[in-house]
Amino acid sequence: MSLHPSNVDGPIDPITPDTLPDASHEDVARGLSALISHSADVPNVMSHIHAPLHSLAQAHWLHNFIPGIQKLAVEYHCGNYVVMRGSEEPFFETMPLYARLGMHLLFYGKEQVRLLGNKRIDELLREESIRQGQIFDDPKSVRSIPSFVETYKIQTEELLEPDLSKYNNFNEFFYRRLRPDARPIQNEHDENVIISAADCRLTVYASVDLAKAFWVKGTHFNIPNLLNRPADIPEMASFQNASLAIFRLAPADYHRFHSPIDCEIGDFERVDGQFYTVNPQAVNETGFDVFTSNTRSILYLKHIPTGRLVAYVAIGALLVGSIMWTGGNQKGTILKRGDELGYFAYGGSTIVVIFPQEVIELDEDLVSNSERPIETLVKVGYSIGKIKAKVAN
């Protein structure tokens, strides 16, 4: 949803334009490429791939590539509403510029022609995602760290390494570690509590049908497609009518992800795919298959209290070329709630955790927000639900 902050009290309706009327898809493609090149040379995040869209109102250099981008930045508030856990008042998060350009490349333009699946566009998004990763691995990218911290108000006191000069490149800071006590487990001594896998904007649904009704509008979105498995194999039976938790990480978030359950590590699969933006505007777009089209890594976790398999899907996105597993790469490893599983390098991305219906009873406030629908801001360790009933292993 692309929304205007003044509309908080009434129905949350999109008012953003569907297109840049003066720009072609070729203009937007050149603009995205120029923006990524700019991030290699300019340390100020406000002229960077992570710049909020509104900050580009004065970016005259970008207007040379994308006619009308300044008008869009001035006249429209492009982004998403989010609600803080424990509050009923939504606040507005501006969409990063790179995500907006990714949206325009896929299905906006003069001709109003949807380009999803266009080979040239798909290759461009892949190439630029890889190139951005290389830029942020370069030692000179450390110049962007102070501006990034200031722009996104990163709480450096909770970092395991708070000295910004100790990071060797921007990516090292991006997948920074936190102090061990920075993300306590809510109700840690209650073994029935299931926790958030990430610092994120969270939506939860008790069934796939509810997820499709309120949030995920992809035509081909279902559990077998997400897991890249045939629908008729025996192991898919346990995921019929499964519950979903969708953890969206924004660029400023702590980008390591964790186990929401006490579990034993099972099988792993990588699925090659696209690098589409995972911004809610794309996920909410009818017929736009983000989660089942994008590159993703799937880890199966045996939930120790119930003996059920839980599927943990880390999904790549535009300018996210790396999904790295750190705690879940050895089959048979036992993990506790909150133990680290891995991290994303550069950009924002999403984790989808699929719980068999017998496993989780989702927290009511999260269910209510998700059916509005609006994302809830949560952190690693927050409760997202409880075990329904323990069953025999």
Q: What are the DSSP calls for 57-83, one per residue?
A: GG-HHHHTTSTTHHHHHHH---EEEEE
Select which of 27, 199, 262, 289 is catalytic: 199
CA angle 22, 25, 29 (to 5 degrees): 115
Task: For residue 349, indicate whether it is catalytic.
Answer: yes
Select which of 77, 104, 258, 303 is catalytic: 258
Residue 356: asked if its preceding bond is cis (omega within 30°), the reply is no
3-state SS of 12-33?
CCCCCCCCCCCCCHHHHHHHHH
3-class secondary structure, 332: coil
Strand order in the sheet with 322-325: 256-258, 340-345, 322-325
Q: Which stretch of DSSP H or E encloses residue 266?
A: strand 263-271
Select which of 349, 363, 370, 383 is catalytic: 349
Cβ-count burial 316-340 (b if 16+ within 10 Å, e if not): bbbbbbbbebebbeeeeeebebbbb
Task: For residue 258, indicate whether it is catalytic.
Answer: yes
CA dihedral 137, 278, 197, 89 (to 10 degrees): 120
Give the residue numbers marked as catalytic.
199, 258, 349
